[in-house]
Amino acid sequence: MENLEFKLPSDEPEQLLVKSQDVSNPIYGCAPEERSIESLLEYGVINLDKPSGPTSHEVVSWVRKILNISNAGHGGTLDPKVTGVLPCALGRATRVLSALLNAGKEYIGVLYLHTPENIKKIKKIFELFTGKIYQRPPLKSSVVRKLRIREIYYTKVIEVHNNHILFQIGCEAGTYVRKFCFDLGEALCSGAHMLELRRTRVGDFKETSNLITLQNLKDAFTIYQEEVNDYYLKKIIFPMEKMVSHIPKIYIRDTAVDALCHGADLASAGICYIDARIKKGMLVAFMTLKKELIGFGTTLKEALQIYKAKSGIMAKTNKIFMERNIYPRWNEKKQTI
């Protein structure tokens, strides 16, 4: 099979502008990759391979039971018969799941044409359905059935066999692939419906990177409990920061972190690095210099204006995930490394 590697908009590499340079004090905070397994069970996320049959809610319930935790949640519902990537956040990391709501998705599916069509015509219609399309949610959906615009980033006809089409699609969050197949059949004047679907990507959660089954999770947790060996569990639980890997970021100096944790907005003096892709009014992730997630904010200026600003508020604070007093108060005497 030919290479099927495509890119979502979030795949564009981070381009940092250096507003000011600073070094993070090692006595405060903890780099995500150095967290203990106890911390990961409270602030972690797993890349779960959802099986066909159960609902996404049922799968998350099993995750809670396996790990013996009180809270877990998933990043984007899959229909019972749909398989594939289902990010599951653990403990307090469930509050970060909103970051995945707007993350791009990728699927591989099988479409069935009601009457045979020429392969050139099929590929042409797939090309026409790439870009911004109008889509009305299907009857069986949890949202209001209003006509809306969704972007199809890329499509690929992988194989055509009789009336069956194996295809790949990368799309904006909120796209109904089942409806996409129906509309494509209407455009072909032959009719079509979706037979099978597998999600292969959600943001930075990919089918090719540490995708695990419920049995893998159960085995790793059993080894952790019975042998006091967290090696395998640490291999499959990611820090919650993985859920914001697709979001533009602003990196904050140590002395400004706790002010944000107390609800303050982000001032120019607290910024060290800015993602050059940032636009005014954009959702951004506030990060420490150790790459810990602090929270979300909305920018009041674009990246270059933030870079040049000598003072003033640069972003409004929306939601904070980091606990208070992990970093020093801004008015505390700075400790030496």
Q: How many CB atoms lie within 10 A of CB 119?
A: 12
* Partners of 107 in beta bridges: 169, 199
Backbone phi, then psi, for 31, in 5-degree steps? Answer: -60, 140
Q: How many CB atoms lie within 10 A of CB 337?
A: 8
79 a catalytic residue: yes
Sign of the CA dihedral running 254, 259, 262, 265: negative
Q: How far apart are CA 242 and CA 315, in angstroms?
A: 22
List the catalytic residue out of 79, 219, 254, 275.
79
- In this structure, are residues 52 and 73 in contact, taking their beta carbons and an 8 Å threshold? no
Helix (H) or strand (E) holding 327: none
Helix (H) or strand (E) holding 123: helix 119-128
Active-site annotation, residues = 79
